[in-house]
Amino acid sequence: MHHQQSTLSRRRMLALSTGVILAGGLGSTAIAGTARADVPTSPRFDLTVASSRLFWKKPLHEKPIMQCFAFDNVNGEVYVMQRSDQPDSKRRGHLAINRMTLEGDYISRMYLNGFGHGIAFGVQPTPDGVIMWTEADAQPYGDDNSRARVVCRFPWAASTTPITRDDVELYEPIDGMHLASCSLDMDHNTIAVRYTKDGVDGMRVSLYDLDAFAEHDFSQRLADISTRPVHTPDVTPQGYQHYGQHLYLLQGNPYDQPCDQPGERGRGNTVIGRINFNDESDHEAHLTNAGYSLNFREPEGLGLINLADGRPRLAMGFASGCPGTRQANIYYKQDPPG
C-alpha cells in the first residue's frame, strides 16, 4: 500500500478542504488490513421490479459511448464518464466527464488524461464543491486498451485543459492491485474498490469507511469479496455500485445486430446482480429488459439516485446509437431498498 500524492494535488485539495474530507491530515500512512465481514445490516434493492426512464437518447460532449455515471444527490445532477475524442484515447486511458442535469442536458465537462477505461466512479458533495473519486494511472491492457492501476480523488473543475495523475491524490489500498475502480455510498459513508491480481475472473471488491480511506488508513477494511458468484463467463462486466451491506453488479453485451436497428424485449443478455458483503453465498442475478427498445443497447454502469421522497433508487446506464452518434440513457429501479 502506498500513499501517493503530488505537490500540485496537495494544493488543489487543500484549496477545497473540509473537516469531513481532510480530517487527520494528508500524511497518514497506509496500513494493510485484514478482510472481514463487518458491514452493518441494511435493506436491499429488489432487482425484479420494473424500471423507469430518467432520460433517453441524450448526446454527450465527446463521440465515444458512455462508460459509467454517478449522481450528485445534493445538487441534483449526474456526471457521465466516457472516453475523450483525443487521438488514441482508448489505449492511453484518456477520459472525459460530462456534468449534466437530471433531464440529461449537458452543463460542462472535464478531461482526465491517462486515467483508465471508465469502469465506475463516485461523486462526493461537500460544502465547498464536489470531489470526484475515480480510477487513475492507466496501464496497457491488451493490444489497444488500458485499465487503471489505482484510484484517486480530485476536485471537480470544468475545463478544456486535461488533468493528469500529477494533479490528483492517488490511493493504492492493496499492493499489486490492477484493473482498479471505485464507487461511493454516501448514505453509509463508504467506498468500494474493485480490483484484481488474477484477471477478470479474479475480480474482488473491498469495502472501507470513506473518512478513514481518505486519510490513507486502510487498516479497517470492512469486507473483501469475490464477484464470481454473479459473474457469467464470456459476458462483459459493465460496472457496479454498492449500498449498505450489498454490492450490485451489471454485466452484458450490446445487441448482436446492426446498430441502427431497435431492440426487442428479451433479446439482450444484460444481467443485474447482487452479493451480500457479509455472506458471499447470499447472491442473486436477474435479466433486465430496461431500455430493451434501444438500438445497440450496451449496459454501462450503475449508480444511486435520490428521488423526491429522499430515498435512493438503483440506476442503470445504457449506451445507444451508432459510432459518431452515440447517446446516453439512464433507467432506475422503481422501488427504494426495503
The values of phi and psi at residue 184, to 5°, are -115, 145
Convert the pLDDT of each residue in 29-88 to its tens digit.
333 333 456 899 999 999 999 999 999 999 999 999 999 999 999 999 999 999 999 999
What is the pLDDT, as a whole number, of residue 271?
A: 97
Confidence grade of residue 234 (pLDDT, cut at 50, 70, 90): confident
How far apart are alpha carbons 51 and 305 in whole angstroms?
13
CB of 300 within 8 A of CB of 78?
Answer: no
**Of 182, 158, 155, 179, nearest to 70 (Cα)?**
182
Give the mean model confidence (pLDDT) for residues 309-317.
97
Q: Which domains does the chain have, with CATH numbers?
A: 2-31+44-333 (2.115.10)
Q: What is the pLDDT of residue 251?
A: 97
Question: Residue 153 belongs to what H/E stretch?
Answer: strand 145-155
pLDDT at 31: 33
Specify the pLDDT at position 71. 98
| Arithmetic mean of pLDDT, 276-293 | 97
pLDDT at residue 232 greater than cutoff 80: yes
Question: Do residues 73 and 102 make contact, with C-beta atoms less than 8 angstroms apart?
Answer: no
- Give the span between the Cα atoms of 320 and 322, in whole angstroms: 7
Amino acid at site 2: H
Sorting pLDDT into bands at 50, 70 and 90, what band is 20? very low
**CA quadruple 11, 15, 16, 17: dihedral positive or negative?**
positive
pLDDT tens digits, one per residue of 119-147: 999 999 999 999 999 999 999 998 899 99
Please compute Rg for the chain using Cα positions. 18
pLDDT at 6: 42
**Structure confidence at residue 155 (pLDDT):** 98
Q: Alpha carbon of 230 to those of 72, 227, 249: distances in Å?
A: 28, 6, 8
Q: Is 15 helix (H, G, I), strand (E, B) or coil?
A: helix
Residues 6+ apart with CB under 8 A from 298: 65, 238, 252, 253, 254, 318, 319, 320
- pTM score, whole prediction: 0.90
Q: What is the pLDDT of residue 22?
A: 30
- Each residue of 59-93: b (16+ CB within 10 Å) or e? ebbbebbbbbbbbbbeeebbbbbbbbeeeebbebb
| pLDDT > 90? residue 9 | no
Tell me how long the chain is: 338
What are the two backbone dihedrals, phi and then psi, of residue 10, each rounded to the nearest 5 degrees?
A: -60, -45
Q: How far is CA 58 from CA 19, 66, 103, 105, 265, in A?
A: 37, 10, 9, 7, 22
